[in-house]
Chains A and B, each alone.
Chain A
């Protein structure tokens, strides 16, 4: 019997072992793992978002560039929908019946009880006729949202557009965006997304198993209300922007106008542009595809993405660095026989100017003068060799903002091209000197700059030695917060006194009878400037004008580039002068209005691309560029 009595312990032991198994499992799922706790939160908590209004964007005079407009989404709760006259409903909201039915079926498949948008972004007109009849369609209702609206239809590339977030973006911005949210996809909308979007309001609600709300979580203590996006005051001047876009219509190119003292960009024209209103609403997708088909690439933001040889715009820098380094003084003369010989290379000059000094050299845009200064700079005795000299020169030029982004508050800015000595040493080994890169003296060859960089050089000259980072948004929010980086002056290392002779030269270019830009003279305003005709390896030369005005206390620095338009004096200079006049005098003089209208009507588009049967000339090669310079007229 003892034997059987002991079996008690077996049975009791089994009980204990099993209860330990239960307790162990419980410990795991209750204390050790928080997976189940989180699942429970997922079960009952739903976050209901309220969407803030996106910030509006104003111009520098606080006129509206972008505002919000109400649109209406037709929503449905599939389970509540009674049989209805589909054809009639589709007629009212003017959509294709088949598409409507497809949307409805998709919504029903996802959930019978969740409200879902069947047709998005109905206009006010459609909403009005629909709301009268909505009672006939039980289960349907209308939810309002806002979309962007652009009263003047201008500054498309500058403002950018918003679009529904992609799954990638949802992942990237970790948690803020949900499918169906909108996000700034380009331009200011993208650059200032954080300020513009505001803050979504979140209400945490508890839901029971039947998806019926049961009140707020933690008595709503954790709920937040939506905070509207902040308004942006842009530096643009609607009047200039509008005039600029009109002048540039049917032309390809850029206008960048900067207020030199502040770095605020007054006009930012990229042509061809597009009407920003095309990028909102129901047909955004279709319009986008249509715009993509434009061979002149409307989505290129040319002021910060277009590459142009700075050409004549670069020559003031030669003079400035020459003066700073002491290799010339304002009266130093060089003899221009119509060309400059540097080793095997010959740089031709458009004119035979004889003995020429700084002012006239700049006014006449003399290639020979520029090359002499460059030669003197690179062959200074204080340097061990020309490579070191070149690097020093490169450093000084880079301070003017060439070869790197200026850090404008827009996505997609490009650096331009400007190489240091190691690049050439890599390319030519040690067999190179000033004569190899002589074309850089006249802003050609292996040097590209964006219109923004070129305009910024003008701002530096206007300021006599410094620039403020060019930017498009002046102030953020109600408090007009100005980013600190936009109040800092960047000095380029040239003494202010050296600017005077250079400015004199540029003044003469516009205001003296033998200047190259006499056609863009403005009455009562001393404008300083230079024309350029930038050689274009792919077609007709680009017409360029750079300048600033007025001479004393400059208010505007401007760069205008019209592609394939030939001489700088033909298109770019007049356009710049109209814009400058409009800005400084509030309107263009009456006697010029006819010219303005004529300019607006001009069509300067490249010929449709021909079939390529020969290799494109290699524009990047400095030595070859010099030969091509023969075709180029720097006036």
Chain B
């Protein structure tokens, strides 16, 4: 595009004759649309800044469409995701990170309530078909993204219903089944997606057979297989593994009778189990975890890996948490547990230079308990996958999930994942890799740099408090009722208005207002770089005022 600036039509003999020439400072302003940190942190690949911008314009449906370009299940992730986007949010240093999950959830629910159509079309009948094992979040996401890439998807699910661990392991108090079903049904009924339930790998289908007549096979079976567990060789007769116990409870509404329980682990399964058991009437529920609780002395990589608000709610409900500790010994009467020795852990330098945790001698104490439940993670059920499994998991070689030619691994089964958002992102990534290969190319990632908080000019943002979702009081928490409520239309839009638009132009006119040389020109239509401004470098002196006063860091000074 030829840019005609004032110097091109300036009348001779006017001051427009006096151009900056070669005496500009060593830098000139450029527009750089950096990656917002929320986007960089989102395992599902959402660009939160983009959909918040649409909400700020009041375009709610368009915002949802931008959101589901990455994540087809916002109503689900808005409820269950530990939201690393909020941890990364640049606003946290001002007056609190954006409550992105509240708005995401609200948008997801609005779409369901209003029946907004997913922005996908049915692929042609002869389009390539991908086979997907597992209708959990990874499989559903993969099927949805297949449509976005013009492919068809065929999902094989071993259970009688789709949903994977969203259904089997997340309590309805966190994810009501109505919300889950509504979103899943809307995605899975999109034309071009075919779901076969009760189709078990190794019995009804095989990876090799599917690979023979599909463009690709995407393995998203999740982790179903409990790990072996013992403490110093002893295993109680009534041993229950955490996830299995949780699944049983979801099916039958029963826990084994116990008065005092220790749950050993540090993830969401452990937390869900603690809270459900406490609500079920177990008198004392103690979580023993090797990780630390949030606080000034806890490093980020040492933090207990649960949704922060879940932790807060668990403490409200009276769950005792013993951080940096382990179950050292089971005290058995016959084959029944009657107590457990809990010991603190301390860090010592390991042989590989990294710190490792060892029992802190002398801190052992005995707790009288009826049950010790390990929640130490699960592995892939090897049935039908023997040739792909490597030490319990599928362990693909890359970010795209490549196991071998046309076979990909997604979600928990990879062995390096642990959240719904990661599973959803895996679905998108694997399908992008498949589509790129079919087109003879390679999939690409967003390699833009993230915008650091120091590049923002915070004075232009008036203070605004983070929204807080309503919560059921502890006394009213049951096994069914959702604990966290909806923030509603007004609060959602107010929350969206808090977005700082990191790295993206807000059309605030600051550059145009402040430029001492009128070298910022406003354009009537969107310029090629996505803003409404051009720099007239014939007159720009390189003073950097525009970059300084740009609230979002979209203008950066770069060497000539």
> Is this pair of chains taken from one and the same complex?
no
Interfacial residues, chain B to chain A (CB-CB below 8 A): none
